Chains A and B, each alone.
Chain A
């Protein structure tokens, strides 16, 4: 893969309410260039809202504050997005699915993502034998792998991961962790998760989001470099710390 100039994310004075509940208030955060940034928080705390805001999916009138790259440029067009659901189109085969960007942007010829590139990526990801298969014949892990291939082909500097591993079984999840980490190493990654262990395994920096109204984050920088062995003692200590920090929340709310 060609290294892409990575991009950082600058959130300034972000305020967001949802159904009379203020989720974010004067929230500011700088996410590091070319790193794995993990937003960790309990279910319903507002991490998904933050991610959708970064992705530019919230209408501008629904929130206050700015979300931009540090140089002030807008983020749209620099982002790709991967969710828990692989979002594959059931009537297209794997190859057609990962090249869906061409159809959706109506690109052809030299502007389009090349099929050769797509095929070689599929080979790298071990999906070559399944290239002609439709998603219904693939396992959950294979589907998520296909989604990863589609995300990579989009070749954007920022990758947003919306709990992409939470529907997978333990073994597949570990495989996907390693695979995703390897392929996204040159990107600015923002991943949300509620699993402290997953965060500790992959993150360069962990931001802990605590409700009911999020005004700032607690930052934890795990020792060693990712991906980490989850049996490491330091990591287990940090896991305890994280669990404690997350559960503090309960007594407050």
Chain B
């Protein structure tokens, strides 16, 4: 039971610390507004906030889905096609060593101010962790299983489908967790660089107009959204692995 309430207790604790901080430092509202002011802004501007949050939500979800899908496909190609491994791995490493944030302006230039550039940003951030985690899982098919499959005369594709992919699911799911945790970063960075909607845009906009309470309200919504998305993903993945008896890395 405490597990369910723990996030709320933590949240309440954080709010309390925030209020105390305002009280002790006597910070003016344009530096650090107190929670009440933020909640007031939240309720007054709820419509605006929700419509912007919807955009960001869509960016995160689309980025997550496309990024994960691309990551899974790449991992499968890396596993099944030998030459792809030699050619693609260096490219993957190069793209990953490039700071993705530096690419944001280029993406906006190419894909415009709308949804696509933000989704692309999120995809770029997610793609590598998913690929790396899933590929790692696929590579670690137990040696004994490989031997057994070979002795049994297994078809490579059937072996991949019935043994290797399921056994790699715990690794993939940790990749997906990281992906869900980082997807909002991609969306927000994309919005900061150039957009006309979304929570990132709203925060920047509010900041420019000294509407710090609105900025904090947007931040609050963003964190609630990010945390819920992460928790839901985590829960679903956990349930899936439990259903397959693969949780706790029970692979035998």
Contact = CB atoms under 8 A, between A and B. Distances in A.
B154 interface: yes
A81 interface: yes
A79 interface: yes
Interface in A64-96: 76-77, 79-81, 83, 85-91
Contacts of A80: 151-152
B151 A106 contact: no
B147 A81 contact: yes
B250 A57 contact: no
Contacts of B154: 104-105
Interface in B221-252: 243-246, 250-252
B113 interface: no
Contact of B163 (A55, A89, A160): A89
Main secondary structure on B side of the interface with A: helix
Interface in B107-124: none
Interface residues of B, number: 24
A57 B152 CA distance: 11
A91 B246 contact: yes
Contacts of A25: none
Contact of A105 (B148, B155, B250, B251): B155
Contacts of B163: 89, 104
B166 interface: yes
B252 A86 contact: yes
A19 B245 CA distance: 38
B147 A104 contact: no
Interface string A45-64: 00000001001110000000
A136 interface: yes
B252 A85 contact: yes
A90 B159 contact: no
Given A104-B158, A105-B158, A91 B245 contact: yes
A103 B162 contact: yes
Given A77-B153, A105-B153, A87 B144 contact: yes
A56 B148 CA distance: 11
B204 to A, nearest CB: 47
Interface string B130-161: 00000000000010110111111111001100
A246 interface: no
B64 to A, nearest CB: 25
Interface string A98-122: 0011011110000000000000000
B149 A104 contact: yes
Contact of A154 (B145, B152, B244, B250): B152
B173 to A, nearest CB: 14
A134 interface: yes
A88 B252 contact: yes
Most-contacted residue by chain A among B152, B243, B246, B252 (CB, 10 A): B152
Contacts of A101: 152
A136 B245 CA distance: 8
A83 B146 CA distance: 12
Given A89-B163, A90-B251, A91-B166, A81 B148 contact: yes
A90 B245 contact: yes
A168 to B, nearest CB: 14
Contacts of A100: 152, 162
A80 B158 CA distance: 18
A76 B155 CA distance: 14
A83 B251 contact: no
**Best-buried of A52, A57, A91, A104 by chain B (most CB within 10 Å):** A104
Interface of A: 52, 55-57, 76-77, 79-81, 83, 85-91, 100-101, 103-106, 134-136, 154, 160
19 contacts: A55-B150, A76-B153, A77-B153, A79-B151, A80-B151, A85-B144, A87-B148, A90-B246, A90-B250, A90-B251, A90-B252, A91-B244, A104-B149, A104-B154, A104-B155, A104-B158, A104-B162, A135-B252, A154-B152
The 10 closest A-B pairs by CB, nearest first: A104-B154, A91-B244, A90-B245, A81-B151, A103-B162, A106-B158, A104-B158, A136-B245, A57-B147, A134-B245
Given A80-B151, A154-B152, 18 more contacts: A55-B147, A76-B153, A77-B153, A80-B152, A85-B142, A86-B252, A90-B245, A90-B246, A100-B152, A103-B158, A104-B149, A104-B153, A104-B154, A104-B162, A105-B153, A106-B158, A135-B245, A135-B252
